[in-house]
A and B are shown apart, each in its own frame.
Chain A
Amino acid sequence: MKALIRLLAIIRKELRQLRRDRLTFGMIVGIPIIQILLFGYAINTDVRNLVAAVADQSDTHLSRQFIAELGQTQVLDLGRAAAGPEELERWLRDGSISVGVLIPPDFDRRVLDPGRPAAHLLVDGADPTILGVANQLAFMPLAFDTGKASRPARTLEVRPYYNPERRTAINIVPGLIGIILTLTMSLFTAVAIVRERERGNLELLINTPVSTLELMLGKIAPYVVIGLIQLALILIVGRLLFDVPTRGSIVELYMAAAVFIIANLALGLLLSTVARTQFQAMQMTIFFLLPSILLSGFMFPFAGMPPFAQWLGELLPNTHFIRLTRGIMLREARLAELLPEVYALLAFTLVAMAGAVRRFSRRLD
């Protein structure tokens, strides 16, 4: 009973302070919206209208037909014509084009020879996305009549499930929920505790009958609600701007998110016992955020990572949460089918919380 009064007192105090802290309040709303706009609009892997130039050294009926077809794909914006390969190379180097199309003088003959490429794509290989697009273009079937059906037909046809239009936002947004919550949740709690230590509040608090566990639970409880509000914000913006669906159960999505939020809050508590200043707390959350972006399967396919990176990735809450959100939001999976991910999050929470309670010192030395 007394423990409950104390717990509620800490929660009430935390909420009062939050309401008055404009900056944090702004971050609660601002971070999710800014992040989703940034990621939603900037990360766009369906490439269109790459600036390109053509050097047509053959200048035949066939070559002109080929150029017209390339233009119709809308992948390349073939606005410029170059005199020869040297000019293409110069433009590539100075960055004025990303792709150069070189059609050799003997193009008509090459088209008939399956052993030799008909034309060359000169590509800025420093950009992996452009290189990927070029590789796809290389296999573009030539629809025009060459008189001989010698081009290799495609043996496999790709059928993208769950995202037939191949829209990037659909892949990005479910993963982004995890990134945003990892950042805000661990940052807010870590800073909240370190701030009390910096301002001397903690020296007073640890001299009262309040227990470590009460203090920690009271600190994180308000943020669980805040995390869920952030989730709602992301889902609404994702739906309105990027048409990202939530195909599975919204209730189950919220349940999964609650578990994930608590895991990150526990992490924030643990970081707060290590950090001496608010700035250090911030650095540590960023340090943790980077692998959560890179190794969680958000940026790169998890299966393609080397074993060590996969092993590290499995330790991160975000890896499991991304599987949960993609499963529930896109594949309409049930939470019951994804239980191992939930267990992993719970295990993480337990370990982090135990570490935080253990490390949190009720003394100053």
Chain B
Amino acid sequence: MAAITMKNIVKQYGDGFPAVNDVSLDIADGEFMILVGPSGCGKSTLLRMIVGLEDITSGDMLIGDERVNEKAPRDRNLSMVFQNYALYPHLTVFENIAFPLRLHKVSDTQVKERVQKAAALLELTEHLDRKPANLSGGQRQRVAMGRAIVREAQAFLFDEPLSNLDAKLRGQMRTEISRLQKRLGITTVYVTHDQVEAMTLGDRVAVLRKGVLQQVASPRTLYEEPVNLFVAGFIGSPPMNFIPAAVADGELRTPFGPMRLPQTRSVDLSGREMVLVGARPEAFEDAAVVSDTVRDHGMTFDANVDVIEWLGNEQYAYVPYEAPDDIRKRLAELERELDSEAMRTQLVVSLDATSRLAEGSAAPLWLDLRTVHIFDPASGDNLTVSPTRGVEAPARQSGQSTADRGSEAGASDEDSRPQTPQAGAGEGTASG
């Protein structure tokens, strides 16, 4: 077990294209770190540099306290699960799992014992004599995991290990991996482009965009305080709504009417003409079901509800609106970058399942202004979040900060939130 430290890591491929650009990241001993981002953003490249399959163009890679830039993969003592499992087709499941042990000249009795143990943990015992070709996708995945956990590696590296499985199996294996990591307590770096995996598995999540690190934070911070448009749009499903707003007389003019930000969300708008207001679908509500005590914290507006999707436990309403051309272009660009298909000039609104809004009707909607974010449309920066939030310290803080938040939720909304939250402290977001 060891910490992994990256200092200004750069990777340029032969054509000079920087696939990973100046990434600095501390992964604490025993931490579960997620690398997430759209496909092609350099996640695999970064992982392969950690494991030693890709040369590092510049920067330092430390495992434990040792610089490993020049070390061959076998001297780094890391184990990796590849996206397509990379099982050895000519070996049985037993020998596949035993392979690393055989290379390390472990005695036969030891091999047997450890493989049996790993197989039992992964429920592979009855398949030990079979060849990988005869296994199902989920079983192959588990064999790959078995091969990774059978030896005492310093860290586990996963490269999109679940992307080849169907949705149901993916859910099961996700839980499995989470359980396994908690039990073994080994430093883990997990690459994925699936945000459900990113949000549920990790202690911290590192968001990459075109090889550049955007934000490193706990899933909750990432969700509640994204540092820029990219992170805000990438994390969350359905994604955050971005509403164009013109700045006039210290007020925001949106297609849904004027918006007066509460104290906790107010930002310096001087010198700006246009901003984007980011609001999660769940920040909206059917105005009819909003209780009077909170109504004042938000704005109520009339919306043309286009389509309603009722999912049983909740429902989504779609509200189209008009946006200026340049904003529309900017949003389309963001969409492309995020590989998302959401139509950005419509609001996606999450409503209470009991709400009885009808499709194609005009209805009053309520937006909770305490949780909105203001983005600079040009740079994409989140003006409501201090820039120091970009990289959150590695700490066993996920548990602690959840506790903090629990008490906060009780004390609730009147707490005025510090304008610039200190990095590292349990982040104080007042949200419902």
Partners in one complex: no
* Residues of chain A at the chain B interface (Cβ within 8 Å): none
